[in-house]
Structure 1
Amino acid sequence: MKILVVSAHPEPRSLNASLARFAVDHLREAGHEVRVSDLYAMKWKATVDADDFPDEFPGAFSDKSSADFPAKSSAEFSDDQGRLHVMAASERATLAGRLSPDIAEEQEKVRWADAIVLQFPLWWFSVPAILKGWIDRVFTAGFAYGPAVPPPYSNGPLAGKRALVSVTAGARAGAFSDRGIHGELTDVLHPLQHGLFWFTGMAPLEPFAMYETNALPEERFEEARQAYAARLDRLFTDEPVPYRTLVGGDYDHDMRLLPDVEEPGTTGLALHTHPSGR
């Protein structure tokens, strides 16, 4: 099978970098084809702007000096004179094959992959900015969502692919439990698991998480590697998170869950998973 590993940590000697290398080596030894996007090594541009759509806005941001910006406010970016509407511009550029080359290359990797593994540290209850920028820029309208592709939360444009989050956190596991002060990890990762993977049709697996990683002894790292290896071995056999589909009859026209389909006593984000695991 074909797997894309996306790594997001600025230190090549970090735990996250070590886990990413381990995953790549382990998957290749198992016979899989693996590609890697090491975002910091690539010096990935993390912000969406008009340069992402060069044919739509030729030279619009070629000079980013602060002195130029006041002169480019109302006149050049008004509704009638080339205002940047990100969704519309990204969809036109995507469908026409006119995205910037770095985005096009990453989209080709995503298309190629049967599974995607994201490796990152949990920073401020989210992904590092560089990984968020990879998501913002790569998952464009017309590629991952939009009126020209299948509906979200169902058989989306990236259906058939699997997705695994491998995340490290400095806090104890209990802090991310049902009564933990940080909230359940499934809720913290909901924007990725449900809002990115499932929204685009990918099948997200339960995340692999390592806790108390600020000072990790060697023996715990070895235990974690063995546990991670087992998860990677089941990348294509584990059951994905059983999220409800938008088109399966569980939601009304306003995308609100119908009251008669929920499990009694279920609240919060858990409402959007099938209690039976279907």
Structure 2
Amino acid sequence: MNVLIVYAHPEPRSLNGSLKEFSVKRLRDAGHAVQVSDLYAMNWKAALDAGDSVAHTTGDRFDPSRASKYAFENGLQSADIAAEQAKLKWADAVILHFPLWWFSMPAIMKGWVERVYAYGLAYGVGEHSDARWGDRYGEGNFAGKRAMLVVTTGGWESHYSPRGINGPIDDLLFPIQHGVLYYPGFDVLPPFVVHRTSRIDEQKYAEVRNALGERLDNLWNTAPIPFRAQNGGDYRIPELTLKDDIAPGREGFGVHVK
């Protein structure tokens, strides 16, 4: 199988860097083809702007969505964007590997998503009507592919527990897992999260590495998070709210998981 690892950490000798190298070797040793987008090493441009289309004329009003759509449809995207899109199309599975900084992914990785997820590729796909509201949330161009987060945090596991001060880790990762990944169609696997990174000694590192290895070995066997499909009958369309008989009396992120 083909695996794309999108990796964001500025220090190759970090825990993140070591785990990324371990992942590449583990997957290749198992016979998989692996590509790595090391965003810091690539000096990836994070800001989405008019320069992302080679057709933009100076002085024209810049509309990000319209410009993305036109550039994608007409082969006028900047070369770095097109190259990353080719990797996404090639991949059977995508791993986003990053440290949790200020409750989200690093800015450079967010910029990768904003620039690479073009209109017509990751959004703006499918019929929009009273019966369907696009091919998204379980459908889309990435349907049939798998995705997983490998995330490190400085905080303790208890800090990210259901009653922890930082909020439940599943809630913090929901915009990434449900939005960035499930929205364009990926089957999203439960995340692999490493806590309290500053206290990882050799023994703990070995435990983390072995646990990650098991997750990578089962990348195609692990059951994905059972998010509700937008067009699967649970939501009113076009309001896109859950029907009254679905998870009655409940609210919040959790209601979108079966």
- Shorter-chain TM-score above 0.5: yes
- Aligned residue for 2:190? 206
Q: Secondary structure at the match of 1:183?
A: coil
Q: Secondary structure at the match of 1:166?
A: strand
Cα gap change, 1:138 to 1:118, in 2 (>3 Å)? same
Q: Of 220, 235, 243, which residue of structure 1 is paired with 2:227?
A: 243
- Aligned residue for 2:64? 86
Establish whether residue 107 from structure 1 lines up as the match of residue 91 from structure 2: no
**8 A contact 2:157–2:195 mirrored in 1:** yes
Aligned length, in residue pairs: 251
- Partner AA of 1:184 in structure 2: P
Establish whether residue 31 from structure 1 lines up as the match of residue 31 from structure 2: yes
- Aligned residue for 1:120? 98
- Partner AA of 1:140 in structure 2: A
- Partner AA of 1:130 in structure 2: I
TM-score, scaled relative to structure 1 = 0.88
- Aligned residue for 1:49? 49
Q: Which runs of 5+ in 2 are unaligned?
A: 128-133
Q: What is the CA–CA distance in structure 2 between the aligned matches of 1:242 and 1:187, rounded to whole Å?
A: 15
Residue 166 of structure 1 deviates from its aligned partner by: 0.2
Q: What is the CA–CA distance in structure 1 between the aligned matches of 2:126 and 2:81, rounded to whole Å?
A: 19
Q: Secondary structure at the match of 2:22?
A: helix
- Aligned residue for 1:259? 244
Residue 265 of structure 1 deviates from its aligned partner by: 6.0
TM-score, scaled relative to structure 2 = 0.94
Q: What is the CA–CA distance in structure 2 between the aligned matches of 1:107 and 1:166, rounded to whole Å?
A: 21
Measured against aligned partners, the alpha-carbon deviations of 1:184-210 in whole angstroms (never above 9, x if no partner) come to: 111100111000111000011000000
Decide which moves more: 108-117 or 210-219. Answer: 210-219
Q: Which runs of 5+ in 1 are unaligned?
A: 61-75, 77-81
Percent identity, please: 47
Higher Rg of the two aligned structures: 1
- Partner AA of 1:218 in structure 2: E
Q: What is the CA–CA distance in structure 2 between the aligned matches of 1:191 and 1:136, rounded to whole Å?
A: 14
Q: What is the CA–CA distance in structure 2 between the aligned matches of 1:104 and 1:35, rounded to whole Å?
A: 15
Measured against aligned partners, the alpha-carbon deviations of 1:72-106 in whole angstroms (never above 9, x if no partner) come to: xxxx3xxxxx2111011101110111100000000
**8 A contact 2:152–2:197 mirrored in 1:** yes
- Partner AA of 2:148 in structure 1: L
Q: CA RMSD in A?
A: 1.2
Alignment of 1:139-218 (within 5 A): 139-147=117-125, 151-218=135-202
Q: What is the CA–CA distance in structure 1 between the aligned matches of 2:45 and 2:12, rounded to whole Å?
A: 19
**8 A contact 2:139–2:183 mirrored in 1:** no
Cα gap change, 1:147 to 1:201, in 2 (>3 Å)? closer
